[in-house]
Structure 1
């Protein structure tokens, strides 16, 4: 029996290593090509750069072409503001749906869950028509759209967590004279810290990397996020794969660092919500 467990453990480890290599291989190719010139990429896209094709100039050129500081600031502001609003709206909505149980609350929760099943492509054209009519084709409109698309999943995550939080503290605070607003921000929010971090991480990663929605909503120079600016390397008649590879790495690095710093909170938030 012991040998069987050891064998299964080895098999799981080998499968994990194989999957890790499979998922990391495209990133490795991107890193290698970011240090090649155009000739080196066309000659051998999968190989390591050699003395004739290696160049460190791709990163400075990509940094300048992306207008990196401004594009980074645009991505950062849109991501942070959208995530904070999603956290506020979804946590309040989930708390109300859990604590004030009625037939309407059950229906509303089902509607939020069903909204996750609707692909963005199905609502893309109507959304753009409505956004244009309401003059929301700008950065403010983009943030509002992100809040709309991000709340469904976030409400479901908060809902599952709040259901397992005991009500005694809230009842005691109510007896002491707290109104609903004080009850939520003083008593409830501190108990939601773990799941808030988890929801924030997931939304930050999604919003930061999103290309499709900003490409439809942001239509003025100087407003573009980092994923939008990388499109500049792909022209109608030529594609600068060398600069594009370096530019994509510059876009990826901030979110990878963010994820590595916060990854433990994702597992912690999910497990805490399951066992409390």
Structure 2
């Protein structure tokens, strides 16, 4: 019996098994979002006896979905744009300008990646609280910029090193300035890195709960992940609308991925070929 003949089938079966295992939590959330809370408590693994669309209406009202969505959208888009802008320019500066201080700053940024956020969160809250800077989207954007730039600089730095400097020299000979060369010559070549960082940063910032919970205190500033806490009371949890709220929180990210799917795959492919 030739085992090699069945290796492709075994690999396919293994991949489908892993896919099902990873999708199981997501499928359970979808399934339980159509149940009542009593049905969920009795057996969260059972199929729903009926379709409860009222859970989504209840979640929409209790979460103040539109307000939470706008807050999450503004914070996510603003933070991602700032991270990409400053990371790309800083990475270019570190690669093309061989100043001694650049090496020190670059390795300091790399060292900051190893520092857990949990170590910094209490000092950050105390510092910004004493300065009366909490409960502000600007403060949260500033924090996301600080936490997101080091990884962005590390990613851009490695990619820019592979771009031939002769392309920029040709632009300089034609009279182009350093800034114009960066935006018109270098920046278009960084598309694979931009796509990768957009996906990673959007997933991180959109789904983040801990940092916004420390900074945004008033209900008017709550993001969607913070709004899901409205289903928790002192002695009970309204599980069915909570599941519906989680699905509604995930949907915008899924839509973004579907709209950018071709660009994401193309960007990753170009990065691999690069």
TM bin (shorter chain)? over 0.9
TM-score normalised per structure 2: 0.93
Select 1:230's aligned residue among 228, 231, 248: 228
Taking a change above 3 Å as real, the CA distance of residues 116 and 269 of structure 1, as seen in their structure-2 partners, is farther
Q: Gapped runs of 5+ residues in structure 2?
A: none
| 2:92 equivalent in structure 1 | 95
1:39 corresponds to 2:22: no
Select 2:252's aligned residue among 229, 251, 254: 254
TM-score normalised per structure 1: 0.92
| 1:104 Cα deviation after fit | 2.9
| 1:273 equivalent in structure 2 | 271
Q: Secondary structure at the match of 2:175?
A: coil
Select 2:108's aligned residue among 111, 121, 146: 111
Residues in 1 aligned to 2:264 and 2:115: alpha-carbon distance in whole angstroms:
25
C-alpha contact (below 8 Å) 1:164/1:273 kept by paired residues: no
1:82 corresponds to 2:79: yes
| 1:244 Cα deviation after fit | 0.3
C-alpha contact (below 8 Å) 1:161/1:274 kept by paired residues: no
**Mapping for residues 4-83 of structure 1, pairs under 5 Å:** 4=4, 6-51=5-50, 54-83=51-80
Taking a change above 3 Å as real, the CA distance of residues 106 and 166 of structure 1, as seen in their structure-2 partners, is same
Q: Which stretch of the first structure deviates more once superposed, 63-72 or 164-173?
A: 164-173
Structure 1 segments (4+ residues) deviating >6 Å: none
Q: Gapped runs of 5+ residues in structure 1?
A: none
| 2:208 equivalent in structure 1 | 210
Aligned length: 272
Encode CA deviations 1:93-127: one digit per residue, 9 max, x unaligned: 00111111243323322222222111110111111
Q: Secondary structure at the match of 2:53?
A: coil
Taking a change above 3 Å as real, the CA distance of residues 8 and 103 of structure 1, as seen in their structure-2 partners, is farther
| 2:189 equivalent in structure 1 | 191
Q: Secondary structure at the match of 2:219?
A: coil
Residues in 2 aligned to 1:93 and 1:9: alpha-carbon distance in whole angstroms:
46
Residues in 2 aligned to 1:245 and 1:115: alpha-carbon distance in whole angstroms:
36
| 1:272 Cα deviation after fit | 3.0
